[in-house]
């Protein structure tokens, strides 16, 4: 079972840049990832439609928690970049094939 779980995670990692069209992600994951992208990229904004897309999957408390976690990760990223702190090797990211 553990191998199957890991293989599923590999498929998700391979498809993360195309998550909206990927079959590797649930609708809940897609809604959360779209929300995270809108919070993260400065050329995007969170819309009412994005929040409405979260509601079938998350209650109000969970949306607040999700928002806080995304904001914390964004702040950590900016903090580390400003101080030129190197990655600690905790998250291995693959280079997207479409770049």
Instruction: Give me the half-sphere count of Cα atoms (radius 13 Å) on the Cβ side of residue 23.
Output: 0
**Position 1 confidence tier, pLDDT thresholds 50, 70, 90:** very low
Q: For residue 70, tell me if it sits in a domain.
A: yes
Q: In Å, what is the CA distance from 61 to each residue of 66, 72, 75?
A: 9, 16, 21
Distance of CA 25 to the CA centre of its chain: 11
What residues make up the domain containing 64?
A: 25-99
Please give the structure tokens belonging to residue 33.
Answer: 């990832």
Q: For residue 17, tell me if it sits in a domain.
A: no
Does residue 99 surpass a pLDDT of 90? no
Q: Number of folded domains in the chain? A: 1
Calpha distance 8→20 (Å, rounded): 16
Q: For residue 96, tell me if it sits in a domain.
A: yes
Q: The pTM is what?
A: 0.78
**Position 66 confidence tier, pLDDT thresholds 50, 70, 90:** very high
Calpha distance 73→57 (Å, rounded): 21
For the chain, what percent of residues have pLDDT higher than 70? 81
């Amino acid at each position: 079972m553990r191998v199957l779980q890991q293989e599923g995670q590999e498929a998700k990692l391979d498809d993360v840049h195309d998550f909206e069209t990927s079959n590797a992600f649930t609708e809940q994951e897609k809604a959360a990832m779209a929300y995270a992208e809108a919070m993260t990229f400065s050329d995007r904004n969170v819309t009412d439609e994005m929040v409405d897309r979260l509601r079938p999957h998350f209650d109000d408390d969970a949306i607040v928690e999700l928002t806080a976690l995304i904001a914390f990760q964004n702040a950590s990223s900016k903090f580390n970049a400003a101080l030129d702190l190197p990655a600690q090797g905790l998250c291995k990211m693959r280079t997207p094939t479409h770049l």
